[in-house]
Amino acid sequence: MSLLAAAAVLGATVTVVVINREPAPAPTANAAPVSADVTLESSLWKSQKAVKGKARSENTPLELGTRFKASRNGEVAGVRFYKPASERGTHRGSLWDSDKKLLAKVTFTDETRSGWQQALFSEPVPIVAGRVYTVSYHTKHGGYVAAPGALADPVTVGPLTAQAGVFAPSAKGAFPFRRHRAHVNYWVDVVFRHRERRPRPSAQPTGGVTAEPTASQPEGSPSPSPTLTGQPSDGVTSTPTTSGSASPSATPSNSGTSTPTSTPTRSSSSSPSASHSPKPSLTPNPTNQPTKVPSSTPTRTTTPPPTGGFPGAADTGVPSGTTLKQSKSITITKDGTEIDGLEVHGEINVEADNVTIRNTRLAAAPGDWGIIQRQGHTGLTVEDSEIFGNGKERTQFAILNQGRDLTVRRVDIHTISNGILTEQGLVEDSYLHDPKYFSGDHTDMIMCTSGPPSGATLVIRGNTVINTLEQTGAVALFQDFGVVRNVTVERNFLAGGGYTLYGGAGSKGTSSNIKVVNNVFSRDVWAKGGYNGPVAYWDKGAPGNEWKGNVWEDGKVVPEGG
C-alpha cells in the first residue's frame, strides 16, 4: 500500500489565551492578584486555507494519525485533520495512549468540503508531560494529504512534539501503529490545553495610579504626569516595566486600504454616525508588513464598515482635536479614578473600582493585554479611546476583564490578537477590526468564555466587528469554563472569522437566554460570512434563546443557527 503524497510544509502552533474562572477566596481590601491564571490552547500546525501537497486516496478504510508528546501536563480537548476535496464520508477522531488504549473519540460534524476540520471531545482528556500519545482520524475511503520526509526528525512547536506519522488499515478504526519508512506526516493534529500563571508587573506601595517608564525614558528620569480628572496627584507613582519597549514603532495597514493622516471629525453623541467611507473589499491579508510611523502619532488601520449607521473610524476612538499628554504604563489602585486625554505607551492595570478611561490612545506593549480589570474589581468604563498593538509582536488582548462589570463605548480596537474578553457588561458603538495574526493565535474580536455570573448580563450592541482572518470569530460565546447565559447580541455589523458568531452551545450544558437579534452579517471577508459559515454552536430551542431579524447585507434572512 502506497502512503506517500507530494511534500507539504509544516505550519506553526495555534495558541489562545483565556482567563480561568475558578472560584477564588474574596480578596482583602487592599490585596491585588500577583498573577493571572491563563489557559493556553495549542496545536502543531497552523490553520491555513490550504496545505501544500497532493491528495491521495487508497480506496480502503484507514486510521491516520500523529504520535506526539507534550512538555507539560495538560488536557487534549479535540482532534484536527486536513481533508482533501476528494475525501467524503463520516470521520471519527480518536486519542490513544502508548498502551493502545482508546482514551476518547468524537465524530466530526459540519465538515467543510476540504481544509482543516476540528472536533472537540465531550470532555477534555488529561495527559501527562513526557508520555507518548497518538491522535488519529478514521476514513472509510482512505483519503488524505500527506508529506513524505516531514517527520524524519521530531518536530517541536510550543509545548508539543510530533514524533511520527502513523497509520493502520482498519474497517472500523483501530490504534494506528505502523510508520511508513518515508517518515510521512498525515496532517493529523491535536487541540492541547495547559494552564500557566502569568505574573503581573510589580507595583510600588504608594497606591493610586502607577506609571511605568518607557524605553525612551530611563527609570528615575522626570516623567510626564498623566492627566487625571477629579483625583488628587498622589494617584500617580512609578513601577519598572516588565514587557520591554512599550513604544510601538509601527502599525500595519491592510493591503488595498488607505491610511488617513488624521482622525476624522465625529459627533460626540453615543449614537453611531450614519455616514461613513465607501466600503472596499475586505480580502484578508494576515501577513501584511507594518508601516513605519512615529510612535507619538500612531496610524489606525482602515477596514471601513458599510454605510448605514454602523460605527467606524469617524465616530470611535479619540475625538478629533483632542490634545493628548504622553504617558508610560500605569496601574490604578484608587477607586473612582478618571483618566482623560492620555497617550499611553505600554499597558493600563486597573486594580480599583469604578475607574473611567476616556479620550485615551493606548499603544499596547507586547504581552497579554492593553487594559486589564483585575479580579475582584468592577465598574471599569473605557470610552472614546483607541487601543492597538505594534504589529510586530503579539499583544494578546486589547481589553481583558478578570473582574465584574465592564463598559466599552465608542472604542476603536485594531492590530491586536484578540479584542475584548469579558463575561459581563456592555460593549456598544465600538469598532473592532483588522486583527493581527501571530503564529500560535486563535483570534476573536469580542469573546466570552463562561457567561455572566448569576444576576449579571452581557450586552454586545451596535458595534462593527470585522475579523479579517479565517479563525476564530467576530463574536465568540464559548463554554470554556461554564454554561453561557444572559447574553444579548443585537444591531451589530458582523463579518469574518472561521465562524462569524459562536452562539454559546457546548459540552458543559445548554445555553439559555441568548438573544441574537437584528444583526447584519456580511460576506465581504468570506463568501459564507465566516470562512466556514455565519454561525456555529447555537442551541436552537433552548430556554430563552432567541434568533430574530438577522440578515445578510442584501436583506436575505440568516437562518437560525446559520
Q: How far is CA 490 from the centre of its chain?
A: 21
Alpha carbon distance 493, 553 (integer Å):
9
Strand partners, 92: 107, 138
pLDDT of residue 394: 87
Helices (H) and strands (E) in the chain, counts: 0, 44
Percent of the chain with pLDDT over 70: 72
pLDDT tens, position by position, 332-356: 999 999 999 999 999 999 999 999 9
Element (H, E) at 96: strand 92-97
Alpha carbon distance 13, 117 (integer Å):
16
pLDDT tens, position by position, 436-491: 887 767 789 999 998 788 889 999 999 999 999 888 899 999 998 899 999 999 99
In degrees rounded to 5, what are phi and psi of residue 218?
-60, 150
Cα maximum dimension of the chain: 78
Sheet holding 440-441, edge to edge: 115-127, 74-83, 188-199, 35-42, 14-19, 440-441
Task: Say if domain 325-552 classifies as CATH 2.160.20.10.
Answer: yes
pLDDT of residue 386: 97
Domain map (residue ranges) of the chain: 14-197, 325-552
Length of the chain: 562
Sign of CA pseudo-dihedral 494, 347, 321, 357: positive
Which DSSP symbol is given to 449?
Answer: S
Does the pLDDT at position 37 exceed 90?
no
pLDDT of residue 453: 84
Percent of the chain with pLDDT over 90: 55
Specify the pairing of strand 132-139 against strand 92-97.
antiparallel
HEC profile of 270-292: CCCCCCCCCCCCCCCCCCCCEEE
pLDDT of residue 196: 61
Average pLDDT score over the chain: 77
Sign of CA pseudo-dihedral 262, 264, 269, 272: negative
pLDDT tens, position by position, 122-180: 999 999 999 999 999 999 989 999 889 889 999 998 889 999 999 999 888 899 999 98
Whether 352 and 377 have beta carbons less than 8 Å apart is answered as yes
Whether 11 and 46 have beta carbons less than 8 Å apart is answered as yes
pLDDT tens, position by position, 292-311: 222 333 333 344 444 457 99
pLDDT of residue 455: 86
| Predicted TM-score of the model (pTM) | 0.54
In degrees rounded to 5, what are phi and psi of residue 234?
-75, 5
204 Cβ neighbours under 8 A, 6+ residues apart: 210, 237, 238, 239
Whether 134 and 96 have beta carbons less than 8 Å apart is answered as yes
Alpha carbon distance 517, 113 (integer Å):
30
Does the pLDDT at position 420 exceed 90?
yes
The grid coordinates listed for 490 are 443585537
Element (H, E) at 467: strand 464-467
Alpha carbon distance 48, 145 (integer Å):
14
Which DSSP symbol is given to 208?
Answer: S
pLDDT tens, position by position, 13-23: 333 333 333 33
Which of 1.10.3470, 2.60.120, 1.50.10, 3.40.50 is the CATH number of 14-197? 2.60.120
The angle subtended at Cα 279 by Cα 273 and Cα 284, nearest 5°, is 120
pLDDT of residue 235: 44
pLDDT of residue 542: 95
Q: Where are the beta strands (DSSP E) in 98-203?
A: 102-107, 115-127, 132-139, 143-145, 155-157, 160-169, 188-199
Mean pLDDT within 314-324: 92
